[in-house]
Amino acid sequence: MSRLERFRTNKNKFFKEHENSPLTPEQKERFVKLEYFPEDEALRFEVTLDTEGTTQEPVTMGTTTGEPKEFIPAGWAHMEIDGEPIKLMVFKEPGRGRLFLPFRDGTAGDETYAVGRYLDPQSKPDGTVIIDFNMAYSPYCAYNDNFACPIPPFQNVTKTPIRAGEKSYPDKV
């Protein structure tokens, strides 16, 4: 079993069984599994973040419940998907330093959650960052409205479809 298959299997188990699952008890009863695009190695990138023009000043993102949430710009990730140049801002979570990449692509509202999806890029010791769209996931608000989820900023919206990672969840409450 690949790392990605293991991740997806564990996530399904968490959603079905764990007390901290974003699913309601009723949803858990109906839950079978999350749906994903097939793994695509072409949608895994190792990039050096472009920090030109970025500051360490926090920026505020809106959320699905209207509560603002702050993030610190880490730099731009440049890549090419299906021949289209893509430029997305990677952020850091204040206090934790974890990298966060909210995005909305051409699959949003059709094949994937309408508001957008998230990635948690991984920093490497050499300073590069791994952005693996196969690991893209829907925020908890994609399953029910009891969560405040950051909305991807306009800089991270692309019309290019990124067919990797998690698909829409049909049983949202």
Q: Which domain range does residue 81 map to?
A: 40-156
Residue 19, in any domain of the structure = no
Q: How far apart are the first and last CA of the chain?
A: 32
Residue tagged 């097939």 (tokens): 38
Residue 37 gets which letter from DSSP?
P
pLDDT of 112 strictly over 90 = yes
pLDDT of 97 strictly over 90 = no
* Contact indicator for 39, 8 with CB cutoff of 8 Å: no
Residue 95's pLDDT is what? 83
Among 37, 95, 50, smallest CA distance to 70 is for 95
> Where residue 21 falls among pLDDT bands split at 50, 70, 90?
very high
> Where residue 79 falls among pLDDT bands split at 50, 70, 90?
very high
Residue 63, in any domain of the structure = yes
Residue 18, in any domain of the structure = no
Residue 75, in any domain of the structure = yes
Residue 51's pLDDT is what? 92
Q: How many domains does the chain have?
A: 1
Residue range 5-21: mean pLDDT, rounded: 96
113-171 pLDDT per residue, tens: 999 999 999 999 999 999 999 999 999 999 999 899 999 999 999 999 999 999 999 98
Q: DSSP alpha helices (H): ranges in the chain?
A: 3-17, 25-30
Residue 24, in any domain of the structure = no
> Where residue 53 falls among pLDDT bands split at 50, 70, 90?
confident
Residue 96's pLDDT is what? 83
Residue 98, in any domain of the structure = yes
Share of the chain above pLDDT 90, in %: 90
Residue 71, in any domain of the structure = yes
pLDDT of 23 strictly over 90 = yes
Residue 69, in any domain of the structure = yes
